[in-house]
Amino acid sequence: MLVTLCLLQVLSWSGLIPTTMLPSAAQVLADTVGLFGNTEFLLDVVATMEAWAIGLAIATAIGVPLGLVLGSLRVAYEVSSVVVEFLRPIPSVALIPLAILLFGQGTEMKASLAIYASVWPIFFNTLYGVRDVNPISKETARTFRLTPFAILRRVALPHAAPFILTGVRISAAIALIVTISAELLAGSSAGIGAYVLRISSGGGSTSMVFAGTVVAGVLGVLVNSVLQAAERRLFPWKHVEKAA
């Protein structure tokens, strides 16, 4: 990592690439550090994170129960698969203009797009997880006289849980892209996208834009590693299996 940064730095000193295009690594780093003292930017980060978190939370609340039910009821899946195949190919960002019309430029609009974008990976991972349950597991639960609902909750859900978390992890990355896209396009008043827009239209330096992206990237990596750590903590049996 450090070596690459030094290489980039050397490259920019050498003057091969003008700094308006690819700013020096040191400059970006300095600007990134500077951003953490910038209250306005911090509020932007908070605004993006808010829409992102709300979107992910609601998408999970929709995607998981839906996946559980459709994963265990063949008929329900047959009926609804048409709807799914109909909606899924619509790229989430294509809906930005519609969302702007319906919800304005604020958090509601961003969150609704984040929900749409993140519900699919969560839903499908839950569905696959439920389908992956060993039939013997379900029969075992039946011989202990668990009701179908109890089987869903105590057998299907725990089995699908690691799949669900993977879905949330994939969704988190996509939701971040969509949220920032929405901010850029809608001309939102706050958010990382709004910051990038302000800098570039105000004639700010490229390195400031890079710095904003660096922060967004760091956020993405952080959320990803938090979710990965949660995976290890919550599902220890997955790892003993690998170790064994």
Partner 1 sequence: MSAGTRADTSGTSIAVRSTKYLSRIALRWVVLVALIGSWQLATVNLSSPYWVPPFTIIRRVAELWLTSGEGILSTSMAQDVLPSLARMLGGFLLAMVLAIVVGVAIGLSDAFGDYVDPILQFLRAAPPPALIPVFLVVFGTGDQTRVSLIAFGAAWPILLNTIEGVRSIESIKYETSAVFRIPLRLRLTHIVLPGAASKILAGIRTSLSIGLILMVISEMVASSSGIGFRIVQAQRSFALVDMWAGILLLAILGYLLNQVLTVVERRILRWHRLAGHETS
Partner 2 sequence: MLVVENLSHAYGTGTHRHLALKDISFSVNEGELVSIVGPSGCGKTTLLRAMAGLMPPTGGQIRFLGEPITGVPGGLAMVFQDYRGSLFPWLTVGDNVRFPLHTAKLGKAEVAERVGESLAAVGLTNFEGRYPTQLSGGMQQRAAIARALAYRPKILLMDEPFASVDAQTREDLEDLVLQVRDRFNMTILFVTHDIDESVYLADRVVVLSKPPTYVLTTLDIDLPRPRDQIMTKELPEFIHLRSDVARLIRRPDTSELAVTS
Distance, in Å, from the CA atom of 207 to the CA atom of 174, rounded to the nearest integer, reads 24
Distance, in Å, from the CA atom of 67 to the CA atom of 8, rounded to the nearest integer, reads 46
How many CB atoms are closer than 10 A to CB 115? 24
Subset of 121-180 contacting partner 1 (CB under 8 A) = 170, 173-174, 176-178, 180
* Residue at token pair 């959320």: 223
DSSP 202-213: TT--HHHHHHHH
**Beta carbon of residue 194, minimum distance to partner 1 (angstroms, whole number):** 11
Q: At 189, list the tokens.
A: 């008043």
Interaxial angle between packed helices 157-186 and 192-201, expressed in degrees from 0 to 180 and rounded to the nearest 10:
20
115 lines the binding site for partner 1 (CB under 8 A): no
Residue 3's binding partner out of partner 2, partner 1, none, with CB under 5 to 8 Å set by partner kind:
partner 1
Subset of 136-175 contacting partner 2 (CB under 8 A) = 136-137, 139-140, 142-146, 150, 154-155, 158-159, 161
Identify which range of 25-33, 99-107, 120-128, 134-142 contacts partner 2 by CB under 8 A. Answer: 134-142
105 within 8 A of 189, measured Cβ to Cβ: yes
Residue 134's binding partner out of partner 1, partner 2, none, with CB under 5 to 8 Å set by partner kind:
partner 2
Identify which range of 33-41, 61-69, 147-155, 194-202 contacts partner 1 by CB under 8 A. Answer: 194-202
Residue 16's binding partner out of partner 2, partner 1, none, with CB under 5 to 8 Å set by partner kind:
none
Distance, in Å, from the CA atom of 32 to the CA atom of 59, rounded to the nearest integer, reads 31
185 lines the binding site for partner 2 (CB under 8 A): no
Distance, in Å, from the CA atom of 51 to the CA atom of 188, rounded to the nearest integer, reads 12
Return the SS3 of 16: coil
Residue 143's binding partner out of partner 1, partner 2, none, with CB under 5 to 8 Å set by partner kind:
partner 2
213 lines the binding site for partner 1 (CB under 8 A): yes
Q: What is the contact surface with partner 2 in residues (CB under 8 A)?
A: 134-137, 139-140, 142-146, 150, 154-155, 158-159, 161, 235-237, 240-241, 244
